Chain A
Amino acid sequence: DIRMTQSPSSLSASAGDRVTITCQATQDISSYLAWYQQKPGKVPKLLIYAASTLQSGVPSRFSGSGSGTDFTLTITSLQPEDVATYYCQKYNLAPLTFGGGTKVEI
């Protein structure tokens, strides 16, 4: 099965900073990569799919890139409301796999 590895596992940044999270797949998954945001005590929310397509309603400071095995989630100007754990997920085939998560703090 394909494994998804995220890094870093946690980070602390200041408001307004540019934040980058990476996700690596053990096999080529083309662009079948999604990013979810989970705020403390809340349900996961889909941010990005197809590696770089922003889900409706998601602020434009979020962006995604990559294909194949290496992917990136970028927050261009970190806001206090972005404090959350971010997960990548591959969805080309079952089993679906989530990355281990990246906890973002301010």
Chain B
Amino acid sequence: QVQLVESGGGVVQPGGSLRLSCAVSGLTHSTSGMHWVRQAPGKGLEWVAFIRYDGNKKHYADSVKGRFSISRDNSKNIMYLQMNSLTVADTAVYFCAKDGDFVFLPVDWGQGTLVTVSS
């Protein structure tokens, strides 16, 4: 049973930075692509970023490109999302998710961590 646990959320001022972590347990983490997906309060799902199983390929949504950076440490089974230059529009629950048998198809999801950008 795969378990994903996010951490690092909190309240930050506009223009600030935050680093989210996603710890994976239960199965081999290093063979799957992983994602960050966010959901603003009362809104729909928005894909944020993807990192390939080996960390050598990354993709970002246009809304975060140049501000957010995804990375992973397969030796620790942890994925990260470094978020810089945060704005109010980045306020959301951030989920980490892991691909199953197909690339770009998240199957396993964490419970999410709330990021609030407010002055």
Interface of A toward B, CB cutoff 8 Å: 1, 32, 34, 36, 38, 43-46, 49, 55, 85, 87, 89, 91-101
Chain A to chain B contacts (Cβ below 8 Å), 16 pairs: A32-B104, A34-B105, A43-B111, A43-B112, A44-B37, A44-B95, A44-B106, A89-B45, A89-B47, A91-B105, A94-B50, A96-B50, A97-B47, A99-B44, A101-B44, A101-B45
Further 19 A-B residue pairs, CB within 8 A, beyond A87-B44, A94-B104, A95-B62: A32-B104, A43-B109, A43-B112, A44-B95, A45-B109, A46-B107, A49-B102, A55-B107, A87-B45, A92-B104, A93-B104, A95-B59, A95-B60, A95-B61, A96-B35, A96-B47, A99-B44, A100-B44, A101-B44
For chain A, what secondary structure do more than half of its interface residues adopt (helix, strand, loop), or is it mixed?
loop
Q: How many residues of B contact A (CB 8 A)?
A: 23
Interface of B toward A, CB cutoff 8 Å: 35, 37, 44-47, 50, 59-62, 95, 100, 102-107, 109-112
